[in-house]
């Protein structure tokens, strides 16, 4: 297999495509579900999720990444049997952890519903969703193993199948159980993740069994003499995973701090309770989800970088480590810069299109710049994890989170700034943590920040794209087109203009462009123009 086909870039694109599809399915199914089970049903359904996600993060936040890194390192130095042992030991560990957490939720479901959530009806969705922890834990082990082999396709397919199974089950059981009561309908909807995780797991097991004899034959046939002690594997697994898990808890804690600070400080600025809640909802419920959408790409890049960099480190190939790090950062800027500029230009039209609320464009126009730094923070975290520096990004993110809280507390109480201060705090928090990460990544990977190719060319292309979008939206709106048509048309034009300009000034090559949907058609079109010019 050539380097081109085995590159982490292709793996990142595969995961990105699956991630966007999963995001779309996840967003779409909630609308008809809410219409079916009404506010109370959605409330019960949502009550189970924070507890479920918290427990799930304990078993799956860091361990799959640890498995991916360890397997990639062993395969790189041809210790195939030990790589296989890492997988088998990890599978046993995650099976036990998943089973214990599932049992914990089942045993304590009634206490959590009545004493923590304050609603006895929440018992039913909590019981219903609890088995998903067990199956998702096992599934994450297989995903980590395949990603360690730098084969992202099984993980991507399992994500899509998992979401499809979830959506179908949610509607089927909610419809069947609704006549018995809204709590049973909510429990039926909460069982969707269980069926989805089983479907995704079965798909991964099927791929594993099909590939094992050919792809993994060397794992059992290898003539390695010494194999790592299983207890040492467990120690390495948790030593690597625990910092990642702790890092994954910083964002939820930061959001919890926002919930406690922002609305109160808005009231200190002179806003009523109702108005403060509205502004907070615009920031967290409308603007924030939009900046997380482009992050699907950089999360995929980060997931692909961990095994790719780990492989290079295991081979003690410093040039490969630096080269893959530089490519990861370059791709990050290439995607994040136009997303930030485009969302800034179209902040109000996008808010009006999606939420019928143009006012949400105010925090969105500020928060849009956070896309750049959130993306860079995710990619550099993947780089640092790949070289084994898992604690560094946790410290950097914690420092950024503290700074964000300070800015939020200070600026949100200023009447003239109000909710814009909270948006600015988020941007500055990600800015600081990402720059600290970047400095650390440059130190530990040996990469060089080539400003011309990494930053300047994408920035120039993004500015030209932004101007084109601004004038196109104004022209088509003036011509009588509705906001929806003008916004969607501007997004499509902007993407095309950005890719063409970036290709013309040499900021993107044919290999990268070919991985983008429609990229090959753009390449052929540009070559035809060049041929006619000659």
Count the alpha carbons within 13 Å of 97 in the hemisphere toward its beta carbon.
Answer: 24
For residue 301, which of 10, 3, 517, 4 has the smallest C-alpha distance? 10
Domain boundary among 195, 228, 261: 228
Q: 81-121: per-residue pLDDT in tens?
A: 888 888 999 999 999 999 999 999 999 999 988 887 777 88
Backbone angles phi, psi at 61, to 5 degrees: -70, -45
| Residue 424 falls inside a structural domain | yes
Q: Look up residue 134 and give its two tokens.
A: 């067990």
| Residue 141 falls inside a structural domain | yes
Q: Judge whether 64 and 141 are in contact, CB under 8 Å.
A: yes
- Cα 323 to Cα 200: distance, rounded to the nearest angstrom: 34
| Residue 233 falls inside a structural domain | no
Whether residue 287 is found in the same domain as residue 162? no
Q: 325-369: per-residue pLDDT in tens?
A: 988 898 899 989 999 999 999 999 988 888 788 888 999 999 999
Domain boundary among 406, 432, 449: 449
Whether residue 443 is found in the same domain as residue 458? no
- Tell me, what's the pLDDT at 380? 94
Q: 279-298: per-residue pLDDT in tens?
A: 887 887 678 878 888 877 77
Whether residue 421 is found in the same domain as residue 463? no
Whether residue 373 is found in the same domain as residue 496? no
Q: Give the number of residues written for the chain.
A: 534
Whether residue 194 is found in the same domain as residue 273? no
Q: Judge whether 426 and 367 are in contact, CB under 8 Å.
A: yes
DSSP 218-241: HHHH--------HHHHHHHHHHHH
Whether residue 27 is found in the same domain as residue 132? yes
pLDDT confidence tier of residue 1, bands split at 50, 70 and 90: very low
| Residue 126 falls inside a structural domain | yes
Domain boundary among 170, 201, 228: 228
Stretch 164-184: mean pLDDT: 88
Three-state secondary-structure class, residue 417: coil
| Residue 310 falls inside a structural domain | yes
Whether residue 295 is found in the same domain as residue 183? no
Whether residue 429 is found in the same domain as residue 472? no
- Tell me, what's the pLDDT at 2? 41
| Residue 234 falls inside a structural domain | no
Whether residue 398 is found in the same domain as residue 455? no
Whether residue 97 is found in the same domain as residue 166? yes
Whether residue 366 is found in the same domain as residue 416? yes
Counting the structural domains of the chain, the total is 3
Whether residue 87 is found in the same domain as residue 28? yes
Count the alpha carbons within 13 Å of 19 in the hemisphere toward its beta carbon.
Answer: 18
Domain membership of residue 514 as a residue range: 451-533
């Amino acid at each position: 297999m050539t380097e081109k086909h085995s590159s982490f870039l292709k793996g990142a694109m595969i995961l990105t495509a699956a991630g966007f599809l999963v995001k779309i399915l996840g967003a779409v199914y909630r609308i008809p579900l809410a219409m079916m089970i009404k506010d109370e049903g959605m409330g019960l359904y949502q009550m189970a999720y924070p507890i479920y996600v918290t427990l799930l993060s304990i078993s799956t936040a860091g361990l799959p990444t640890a498995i991916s890194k360890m397997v990639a390192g062993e395969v790189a130095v041809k210790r195939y049997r030990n790589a296989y042992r890492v997988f088998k030991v990890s599978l046993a560990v995650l099976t036990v952890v998943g089973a214990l957490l599932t049992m914990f939720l089942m045993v304590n479901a009634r206490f959590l519903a009545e004493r923590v959530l304050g609603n006895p009806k929440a018992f039913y969705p909590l019981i219903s969703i609890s088995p998903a922890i067990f199956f998702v834990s096992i599934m994450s082990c297989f995903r980590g193993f395949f990603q360690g082999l730098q084969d992202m396709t099984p993980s991507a397919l399992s994500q899509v199948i998992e979401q499809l199974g979830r959506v179908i089950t949610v509607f089927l059981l909610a419809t069947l159980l609704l006549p018995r009561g809204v709590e049973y309908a909510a429990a039926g909807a909460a069982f969707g993740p269980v069926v989805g995780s089983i479907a995704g797991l079965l798909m991964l097991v099927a791929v594993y069994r099909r590939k094992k004899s050919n792809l993994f034959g060397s794992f059992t046939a290898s003539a390695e003499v010494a194999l790592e002690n299983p207890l040492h594997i467990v120690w390495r697994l948790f030593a690597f995973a625990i910092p990642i898990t702790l890092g994954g808890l910083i964002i939820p804690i930061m959001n919890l701090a926002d919930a406690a600070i922002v609305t109160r400080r808005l009231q200190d600025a002179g806003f009523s309770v109702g108005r403060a809640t509205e502004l907070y909802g615009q920031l967290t419920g409308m603007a924030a989800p939009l900046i997380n959408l482009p992050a699907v790409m950089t999360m995929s890049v980060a997931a692909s970088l961990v095994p790719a960099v780990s492989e290079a480190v295991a081979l003690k190939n410093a040039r490969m480590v630096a080269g893959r790090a530089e490519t990861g950062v370059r791709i990050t800027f290439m995607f994040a810069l136009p997303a930030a500029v485009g969302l800034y230009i179209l902040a109000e039209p996008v808010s009006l299109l999606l939420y019928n609320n143009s006012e949400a464009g105010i925090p969105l126009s500020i928060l849009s710049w956070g896309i750049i730094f959130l993306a860079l923070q995710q990619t550099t975290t993947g780089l640092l994890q790949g070289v084994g520096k898992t604690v560094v990004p946790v410290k950097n993110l914690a420092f950024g989170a503290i700074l964000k809280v300070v800015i939020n507390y200070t600026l949100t109480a200023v009447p003239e700034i109000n909710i814009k201060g909270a948006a600015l705090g988020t941007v500055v928090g990600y800015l600081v943590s990402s720059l600290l990460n970047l400095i650390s990544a440059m130190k530990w990977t040996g990469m060089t920040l080539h400003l011309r190719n990494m930053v300047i060319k994408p920035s120039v292309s993004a500015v030209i794209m932004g101007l084109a979008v601004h004038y196109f939206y104004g022209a088509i709106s003036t011509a009588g087109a509705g906001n929806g048509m003008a916004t969607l048309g501007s997004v499509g034009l902007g993407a095309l203009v950005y890719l063409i300009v970036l290709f013309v000034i040499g900021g993107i090559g044919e290999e990268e462009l070919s991985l983008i949907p429609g990229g090959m058609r753009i390449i052929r079109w540009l070559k035809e123009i060049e041929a006619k010019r000659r």
